[in-house]
Structure 1
Amino acid sequence: MKLWSLCALLLLVCQPTFAAGTVEVLHWWTSKGESKAVQVLKDKMEAKGHHWKDFAIAGGGGQSAMTVLKMRAISGNPPTAAQLKGQDIQEWGRLGFLTSLDKVAEQEHWENVLLPEVEQIVNDLQLIKYDGQYVAVPVTLHRVNWLWINPHIFKLAGAKVPTTLAEFYVAADKIKAAGYIPLAHGGESWQDATLFEAVALSVLGAQDYAKAFVDLDLTELSSDKMVEVFRQFKKMRQYIDPNAKGRRWNQATEMLMHDQAAMQIMGDWAKGEFTSEHKVAGKDYLCVPVPGTQGMFSYNLDTITFFKLKSNEEDERAQQDLAQILLTKPFQREFSLYKGSIPIRKDVSLKGFDTCSLASMKAFKFAAKNNALVPSFSHNLATSSDVQSAIIDVVSRFFDDPSADPKMAAVRLSRAVKSAM
């Protein structure tokens, strides 16, 4: 007994003293696929001995989450980190809320691990640094301009997979005549904007899209081409069921899985929902570029941004461990498999990824070489939140009004962007 007591005492003495910290990450990854992806991060943090305090705010567009974040920050109690994107990161940096991740970045060699195309994006858009210091970590790369297809309904309706907007309408008419909903959609403003963005990329092309939604060229925003964008966008409305208002994006995806709808225009986070239900790409569902956007890639790059803490040393250590995990090879691979995204490290093998992920990576590299990569304005990559809100407001109001005039909508879009700049 004495010998056993001595051994137990020695084990206790020899164990490293490590006080667990707590991490609280604000995000809006709440669907089935997204929740499984978040679980990967939670498990890895808990494996390091830390406590995970989930801070999920439902709502795919993130508007509600940003409202909550502002309230927490103003009250002097920001979370450990938050899902922030685009120009908002620079704004939070100017306000003095962000903390430096330079120590982790140096230890983990962040300068050398990203895909070169992703490195170019984060540098051009200032997505991970403020005032020369790392303050955020890129996590996922998504393609937004995907058309998801239920092949079973297409076969029953005798429809062909569309490659142009004209072909889309032909297929949609056949599907509608067969008694199915052609286009699954949710009546949330950010979903309207995602659909509008896809139509805009198809009509305008990558260069004019960039003029309008990245450069914010007011002439381009009110041009005849933009009038045509609104005209085509309005035409989409007739293929959406009357119960769409308020439907969440993942519920729209479920409509494809349950043979209720034939198509959905949504980013490849939708693939995470198919994966969560064990659906097989190329068999149970198809992924093709939004008609007319072949060769182009509208991207959404999620980043986790880190805030200054007024808490203890343990929480600060947990915060640094969180930053370290996000760009490791195992996390990048596991998270992307659940999330539907593609890894952003250049040394992560795509073995085991499905045909949609492989197609997404191929399209990403092709678009980068051909100057056809564009940031998604609907997902806050191309503009400030103020400009994005102005665009979405015009787009949603137009989509909700059956009598709205496309020409007047283009004029309103230009005026709204000008007032928000």
Structure 2
Amino acid sequence: MKLRLLAAALAASVVLPFGAANAAELEVTHWWTSGGEAAAVAELAKAFDATGNKWVDGAIAGSGGTARPIMVSRITGGDPMGATQFNHGRQAEELVQSGLMRDLTDVATKEHWKDIIKPSSLLDSCTIDGKIYCAPVNIHSWQWLWLSNAAFKTAGVEVPKNWDEFVAAAPALEKAGIVPLAVGGQPWQANGAFGVLMIAIGGKDVYQKVFADKDAEAAAGPEMVKVFKAADDARRLSKGTNVQDWNQATNLVITGKAGGQIMGDWAQGEFQLAGQKAGTDYTCLPGLGVNEVISTGGDAFYFPLLKDEEKSKAQEVLASTLLNPTTQVAFNLKKGSLPVRGDVDLAAANDCMKKGLDILAKGNVVTSTDQMVSADTQKQMEDLFSEFFATPTMTPDAAQKRFVDIIAAAD
């Protein structure tokens, strides 16, 4: 069925009856505050408002690490919002187990989420004790190296095709006054970059053993020694970035002040907002051009239990709207992510999104660390790699030993 026909059918049969009968205002909290992110979230708000309800935007500046404690505090403190963004995985696990979050199983069953959400691991991450507690909205992959074509032209070298060529081109970039690799100061950025290097250099099997099996021996092994050597190279190449936020680092690539950035596909929203074209103004290398995989992390919305009956009904409408095919296309095209529905038409996708879709279709995917380790373990890794990138005197060997200890105690 063509997208417009499918969208029209769902709009007529699902969204309008909900909205017409139960109009309410819902505060929705999230951490999407960059230019590209704001443009994407506006599509969600527009779709929800079209049901007759009202999206009350509760954006929290900073990042997930800044926003999540605020969100959790509000929910546990008796001041819940109507819906809140988390990464689908284990971030809301304790809230669910405490009985503070709404069960969406009825909505999911009615709208056949198990049939349309691909890969199935996304919905599995929303499922606790057989019940579904969140609505996935996208697939975000960390596994990308974004390159400024202009920066490499200025430096007089070819745009790299893989990580080794990128490292080799660094001296020419530095000679031209260009930072080779932009890495912002937020801890999650350093941790994310390490995870990308781990899959590209260490391989999928090592990644799986370390994070899924919590195998400390694998974390201490020779393949991980290579990963920490690559992380040491990344640390050296990122010296002089001098920005904090991820989108500021992306802007260095957009303006040709940095050669590249290891960042998730949400960076595409910033390139798009700047009017840059994939393949012409910038180049994207999935898996750093070494191991072309994508991780199936991303964002989902959870719904705290509310006492207000009308708002509770509006929560159902929002959950339905987020999975509507029209909403999925409009949001993900601007966010730079991939849709969670396997039945939508993304003919308008740019070259980089098409690369991601092709990898997804081949099934060359890995599970995001958010889905395999607890929030506490994730925070420990963020602290380690933030310190590693900020402390040139910390040797790769010392960092690896600390990493092994974290994995050995991981849950």
Cα offsets for 1:85-141 (capped at 9, x unmatched): 2123333221111212233223322222223xx12x135xx3122222221111011
Could you tell me which runs of 5 or more consecutive residues in structure 2 were left unpaired when the two chains were aligned. 1-18
Decide which of 369, 375, 396 is 2:367's aligned counterpart. Answer: 375
Q: Does 1:122 align with 2:122?
A: yes
One-letter code aligned to 1:165: W
Task: Say whether the 8 Å CA contact 1:27–1:82 is kept in structure 2.
Answer: yes
Aligned residues: 392
One-letter code aligned to 1:375: T
Instruction: Point out 4+ residue stretches in structure 1 off by more than 6 angstroms.
Output: none
Q: CA RMSD in A?
A: 1.9
Match of 1:236 in 2: 234
Note the C-alpha offset of 1:243.
4.5
Q: Does 1:340 align with 2:330?
A: no
| Separation (CA, whole Å) in 2 of partners of 1:39 and 1:51 | 12
| Separation (CA, whole Å) in 2 of partners of 1:290 and 1:417 | 23
Cα offsets for 1:149-188 (capped at 9, x unmatched): 1112212323233344332211122211222121122111
| Separation (CA, whole Å) in 1 of partners of 2:200 and 2:389 | 18
| Separation (CA, whole Å) in 2 of partners of 1:106 and 1:299 | 22
Q: Could you state the TM-score of these two structures normalised by the residue count of structure 2?
A: 0.90
Q: Does 1:222 align with 2:220?
A: yes
Match of 2:179 in 1: 181
Q: Show the 5 A alignment for 1:27-176.
A: 27-60=30-63, 62-84=64-86, 85-115=88-118, 118-119=119-120, 121-122=121-122, 126-176=124-174
Note the C-alpha offset of 1:420.
4.5
Q: 3-state DSSP class of the match of 1:54?
A: strand
Could you tell me which runs of 5 or more consecutive residues in structure 1 were left unpaired when the two chains were aligned. 1-15
Q: 3-state DSSP class of the match of 1:160?
A: coil
Note the C-alpha offset of 1:358.
0.7
Change (3 A) 1:17 1:302: closer
Structure with the greater alpha carbon radius of gyration? 1
Q: Could you state the TM-score of these two structures normalised by the residue count of structure 1?
A: 0.88
Decide which of 404, 407, 411 is 2:397's aligned counterpart. Answer: 407
Task: Say whether the 8 Å CA contact 2:102–2:305 is kept in structure 1.
Answer: yes
Q: Does 1:282 align with 2:276?
A: no
| Separation (CA, whole Å) in 2 of partners of 1:360 and 1:45 | 28
Task: Say whether the 8 Å CA contact 2:287–2:294 is kept in structure 1.
Answer: no
| Separation (CA, whole Å) in 1 of partners of 2:29 and 2:95 | 15
Match of 2:7 in 1: none
Q: Percent identity?
A: 35
Note the C-alpha offset of 1:348.
0.5
Q: 3-state DSSP class of the match of 1:283?
A: coil
Q: 3-state DSSP class of the match of 1:141?
A: coil
One-letter code aligned to 2:360: F
Match of 2:309 in 1: 313
Q: 3-state DSSP class of the match of 2:36?
A: helix
Q: Show the 5 A alignment for 1:249-264.
A: 249-264=246-261
Change (3 A) 1:147 1:86: same
| Separation (CA, whole Å) in 1 of partners of 2:239 and 2:394 | 19
Q: 3-state DSSP class of the match of 1:397?
A: helix
Q: Show the 5 A alignment for 1:3-18.
A: 18=21
Task: Say whether the 8 Å CA contact 1:80–1:306 is kept in structure 2.
Answer: yes
Decide which of 392, 398, 413 is 2:382's aligned counterpart. Answer: 392
| Separation (CA, whole Å) in 2 of partners of 1:73 and 1:53 | 17
| Separation (CA, whole Å) in 1 of partners of 2:283 and 2:150 | 10
Q: Show the 5 A alignment for 1:295-314.
A: 295-310=292-307, 312-314=308-310
